[in-house]
Structure 1
Amino acid sequence: MERKLANKGVILITGMKKNIKPNVMKSWDRLMLRKRFIIETVFDQLKNISQIKHFRHRRCISFMGNLLVGLIAYSFQSKKPSIKMTRFDKQVLMQI
């Protein structure tokens, strides 16, 4: 499956199990894999609290309107999760 996705230009980033041969991973991918819980929390809040849901819209304008209203509602939340960046993480970002 990973090869099929790679042929289409999609890179699959997952954690490695102990019994699987280690794979070389870019530093940005390793950093985002460590921050995966926070990223999934934000996605969950966008879908459930801000009511951005995945369903078929009849027109593009209704899709964009729903997305925009959900993002505005998310921006007004008083407590939003954020990714804490260490000095090392910032150095990695500067190298990319």
Structure 2
Amino acid sequence: MYVLAKLLCAKSEETGTYFIDSKKIVVSDNRRIHSHKVFKDIAKRGKGSMGWFFGFKLHLVINHLGEVMAFEITAANKADNNHDLLKNLLKNLKGNCFGDKGYLTKLWEQLYEKGLKMITKTKKNMKNQLITLKEKYTLRKRAIIESVNDILISVFDLEHSRHRKPINAFTHMAATIVAYHFYPEKPRIFVPK
């Protein structure tokens, strides 16, 4: 199933406008971490914007048409700006990739030399960077990837804690990506030329 999901992602249209984000996948309540046995050696504890959780992260890259370009499922303690993860997710993509502040990385120059420009908002202690009006407009439309995450959670039931074997959980996660690929009402945005 995982291979099928990767093959379907390879069929997505390369538009030159991409969005990147991660979604937490909680497998156990924080109070039950020490007694949790199914994902004992696989899942890790991570911190998101809503606090600590135990489970995994789904890292997604989509185009402006809402199609999944690449994805990775990692332990929750893997940072969004991890160099190996970003190289794997963003290989062979050219154009602009929009992300949140968690994707600020020193890998920016290497990606830019390969033809991909990472665009994020700046942190308070950083100097402003010059971006075009089109890039600023598209950065404001980054919520499209949150819509995709919401569809994966609410329509395709990506996150639940009823798995009794890890292989079943990973098959289910890959199946949600496959099912989303055939979903007819993907969110999309208009990108000016």
TM-score (norm 1): 0.51
The one of 11, 17, 41 equivalent to 2:104 is: 11
Q: What whole-Å deviation, never above 9, does each CA across 1:19-70 have from its counterpart, x for those lacking one?
A: x88621666x7465222121211111112111111769642x3233112211
Q: Structure 2: give runs of 5+ residues left out of the alignment.
A: 1-78, 84-102, 106-119
Change (3 A) 1:24 1:79: same
In 2: Cα distance, 1:56 partner to 1:26 partner: 45
Change (3 A) 1:56 1:11: farther
Confirm or deny that 1:52 pairs with 2:145.
no
Confirm or deny that 1:71 pairs with 2:164.
no
In 2: Cα distance, 1:50 partner to 1:41 partner: 13
In 1: Cα distance, 2:146 partner to 2:130 partner: 21
- Work out whether residues 50 and 70 of structure 1, in 8 Å CA contact, stay in contact via their aligned partners in 2: yes
Secondary structure, counterpart of 1:38 in structure 2 = helix
Q: What's 1:43 paired with? A: 149
Change (3 A) 1:15 1:67: same
Query: Where has structure 1 moved over 6 Å in runs of 4 or more?
Result: none
Secondary structure, counterpart of 2:144 in structure 1 = helix
The one of 129, 140, 144 equivalent to 1:24 is: 129
Q: What's 2:108 paired with? A: none
Change (3 A) 1:14 1:55: farther
Per-residue deviation at 1:15? Answer: 7.1
TM-score (norm 2): 0.30
Q: How many residues align?
A: 78
Q: Tell me the percent identity.
A: 29
Q: What's 2:191 paired with? A: 85
In 2: Cα distance, 1:11 partner to 1:85 partner: 23
Change (3 A) 1:54 1:34: farther
Q: Which has the higher helix share?
A: 1
Q: Structure 1: give runs of 5+ residues left out of the alignment.
A: 88-96
